[in-house]
Amino acid sequence: MLRTTDAPPSPTRATSIRNLGLLGLLGIAGVLALGIVIRSSGNGPSPLDSWWHDVQRGWRTDAGIRVAEAFDLVGGVGIVIGVTVVLIAAFLIARRFRSAITLAVAMAVSETVTAAIKVVIARPRPADSLSDVDVTSFPSGHTAAAATLAVTLALLIGRRFWAPAIAWIVLMAWSRTFLEAHWLSDVIAGGILGASVALLARWLVVTAEGRLQKRREARLLPVH
């Protein structure tokens, strides 16, 4: 159940949030570095990518394909945007304005950064993909969106949401490689990118709110 307000962070929690921001920046930098390495190496699959691709093909069953296709559908842009809008509305109704802004910022930044990296790296998808997707592969947009949404909600709701959040990210990543829509490194990068953007958005919104609060308090101080 959603809390009815967003309580201001304590000094200890504020330090933790700053650490989340740093971790988010490092994660995004790591994904960019991996993309540069992949691009400079010819944009093809690594030995690990090829191995996992063959493993997934060997595990392929009709039931598995149906499950993976369900994740493909649920993780599509239209449904993700719809779910995000509903969650933002729920936060606003609960008067959790910081949470609503955090989720909006996280999802907007995630989609923008993912699209930009896809264009710059321009890695081809596996030729035998079973998913009706565009031509670029790195990073996985489905996995990035899943990670952004799940990690943001875990940060906003609390510890009880971390287990389902992690499970959702892993299953989405699996589904993308099972359908051979992505290489393993694509979904790993997508997961890291989405989680990192969620951490960074949390830090940005709380920091901005803190600065606004300090300005309000400064205006209210008596003038001697």
CA pair distance 179, 172, nearest whole angstrom: 11
Contacts of 139 (CB under 8 A, 6+ apart): 31, 35, 114, 117, 118, 186, 187, 189, 190, 193
What pLDDT is attached to residue 9? 55
**Residue 76 has what DSSP assignment?**
S
What pLDDT is attached to residue 1? 45
pLDDT tens for 23-63 read 999 999 999 999 999 999 999 999 999 999 999 999 889 99
Threshold 0.75, pTM exceeds: yes
**Mean pLDDT rounded to a whole number for the chain:** 88
Q: Per-residue pLDDT for 218 more than 80?
A: no
pLDDT band at 21 (very low <50, low <70, confident <90, very high): confident
Rounded to 5 degrees, what angle do the CA atoms 64, 186, 119 make? 125
CA pair distance 43, 40, nearest whole angstrom: 7
Contacts of 61 (CB under 8 A, 6+ apart): none
pLDDT tens for 137-185 read 999 999 999 999 999 999 999 888 999 999 999 999 999 999 999 999 9
Q: Per-residue pLDDT for 87 more than 60?
A: yes
Contacts of 43 (CB under 8 A, 6+ apart): 121, 122, 123, 124
Q: What are the Cα distances from residue 153, in Å, to 133, 170, 198?
A: 27, 16, 9
